[in-house]
């Protein structure tokens, strides 16, 4: 006698066993398609993206060829610049590491694999968007009007 068989069901569809799904996900063709997709997405990074601009500034300040040396005072100046670009200190340090690694491997910062690495770094905080500023101004204006109305009624 065979006991009950447990199956994973999502929205009425019976999913294949875990081992089948893992085998499908690790097939060479899927891996190649995934790599190609990542390369296309990395290549789509805009030239004015703060992460790419900062990586290029770092690369321009590296010394010693493949040694990729960044003097402490230069690093501090770059970190100050990165803050004005909206990058968090952690993200800026990751970008510095990516740029140094690229220089040590003799690769340009706009190479596909470097762009792919930069994509994983947090995007720059560009401050409040115009829509948020408008919404905030409208909210504050309505609060002022409500306060004035309450003051007039109380008088």
Distance (Å, rounded) from C-alpha 92 to C-alpha 100?
A: 12
Query: Which has the minimum average pLDDT: 9-23, 60-74, 126-140?
Result: 9-23
| Domain positions in the chain | 15-43, 50-119, 128-155
Which tens digit of pLDDT belongs to each residue from 57-99? 888 888 888 888 888 999 999 999 988 888 888 888 988 988 8
pLDDT (mean) for 18-31 = 61
């Amino acid at each position: 006698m065979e006991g009950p068989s447990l199956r994973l069901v999502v929205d009425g569809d019976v999913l294949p066993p875990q081992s089948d799904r893992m085998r499908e996900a690790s097939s060479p063709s899927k891996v190649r398609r995934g790599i190609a997709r990542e390369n296309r997405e990395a290549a789509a990074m805009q030239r004015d993206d703060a992460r790419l601009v900062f990586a290029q500034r770092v690369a321009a300040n590296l010394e010693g060829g493949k040694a990729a040396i960044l003097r402490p005072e230069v690093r501090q100046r770059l970190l100050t610049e990165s803050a004005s670009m909206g990058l968090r200190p952690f993200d800026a340090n990751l970008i510095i590491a990516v740029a140094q690694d690229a220089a040590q491997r003799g690769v340009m910062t706009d190479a596909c694999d470097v762009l792919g690495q930069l994509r994983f770094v947090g995007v720059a905080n560009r401050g409040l968007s115009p829509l948020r500023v408008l919404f905030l101004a409208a909210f504050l204006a309505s609060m002022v009007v409500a306060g004035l109305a309450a003051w007039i009624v109380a008088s």
